[in-house]
Amino acid sequence: MAHRVDIKETGEQFWVEPQETILQAAQRQGVRIYSDCEFGGCGTCRIQVTRGKICYEDDCLPMSIADEEHEQGHAAACQARLDADIEISLAAHRDDLPETRQVRAQVHSVERACQGIWRLILQLPQDVQVSFRPGQYLNILFEDGHARSFSMANADAAQGRIELHVREVEGGRFTQVCLPTLKAGDELLLELPLGVFYWRERDWRPMVMVATGTGIAPIKAILESLLDKDDCPPVSLYWGMNRPEDLYLAQEIESWAERLCEFRFVPVLSHADESWQGARGYVQQQVCRDEPDLSEHAIYLCGSPVMIEQARGLFKEHGANEQFMYADAFNFQSDPSSAEPSLV
């Protein structure tokens, strides 16, 4: 038996079939609920249940929803199922985002940013205008139907170029087979823009931005869009890497200090030798050492699901409000032939 979902803001309705999640039903019926990872890790598809209750398979909460949040009616639409009619609020899914489209682009350049990370620059056709929110991502589409997803590392495509940061993954189909053979002029089919990781200007709170690895790419795009803006809130950026030589954007980031409001950059290394004089350990723990009270901050997280899950829990212990916490998690491909992450 199908169950009805009423949308509080509009009065619209859609129906959820047995064995179907709320997100799957919404997508099938053309109801917009933003999503990214679709395994309950990133929190993008979070909804508010205002009447009734949802359930989860095996009564197991997804990692983006804490026990107390579940009790307050917060739910991950990608995992939530129904055994009765409910009402939900989609207030968090009403931002007007650019339409997704497919375009062909040419490789402009491929170069190593540091050991294990490539910088790929794509050139769009002169007659193609592409818009996106800084922080969103794109898919590179392949003829066999597979796709790989990468965050765009530039604030806009005003110059007709898109910058991607690609981490090598052992056995990864794209990074170890396709990427090393790419040359200027090669064509790639793109699907863009995608995702809901972008600056929420309406929050206007001091920002704590936390990245690991190439998770710095969408954060770079967001911060570049805020350079020289009078209404930029204070920004603290924490970037977790293994060793000093991995900090391939350190000099560029440090150059932003005079162009962002109260900007603070804290690189955190997990495997540095004794010569490193900066922060050590896990990046999320360093945030809490520096900011014991996060109740007034907007927080942006980009990296592995494990880091994001740990950071969410830890930051909430330090007062962070889930309403002002935004995440972009690595999403691993279901293709067993590739251990490659599909985001950044």
DSSP secondary structure, 88-110, as one string = EE-GGG----PPPEEEEEEEEEE
3-state secondary structure of 47: strand
Q: How many residues does the chain have?
A: 344
Mark 300-316 as b/e (b = at least 16 C-beta within 10 Å): bbbbbbebbbbbbebbb
Same domain, 112 and 46: no
Q: How many CB atoms lie within 10 A of CB 343?
A: 27
Mark 24-59 as b/e (b = at least 16 C-beta within 10 Å): bbbbeeebebbbbbbbbbbbbbbbbbeebebebeee
Give the integer Cα–Cα distance in Å for 205 and 197.
Answer: 16
CATH of the domain at 65: 3.10.20.30
Same domain, 89 and 125: no
Q: Which of 266, 263, 262, 321 lies closest to 293 in space, CA to CA? A: 321
Same domain, 157 and 216: no
Q: How many CB atoms lie within 10 A of CB 275?
A: 6
Same domain, 311 and 219: yes
201 and 96 Cβ atoms separated by less than 8 Å: no
Q: Which residues of the chain have pLDDT under 70?
A: 94, 330-344
Amino acid of residue 242: N
Quick one: pLDDT at residue 330? 62
How many whole angstroms from its chain centre is CA 189? 21
Same domain, 189 and 122: yes
Residue 337 located in a structural domain: no
Q: Which of 75, 193, 214, 92 lies closest to 134 in space, CA to CA? A: 193
- The two three-digit tokens of residue 147, written as one number: 């796709």
Quick one: pLDDT at residue 171? 80
3-state secondary structure of 136: coil
Quick one: pLDDT at residue 10? 85
Quick one: pLDDT at residue 117? 95
Quick one: pLDDT at residue 343? 53
Residue 342 located in a structural domain: no
Peptide bond into 193 cis (omega under 30): yes
Residue 341 located in a structural domain: no
Count of the separate structural domains present in the chain: 3
Same domain, 183 and 287: no
Give the integer Cα–Cα distance in Å for 132 and 284.
Answer: 28
Same domain, 108 and 165: yes
Residue 135 located in a structural domain: yes
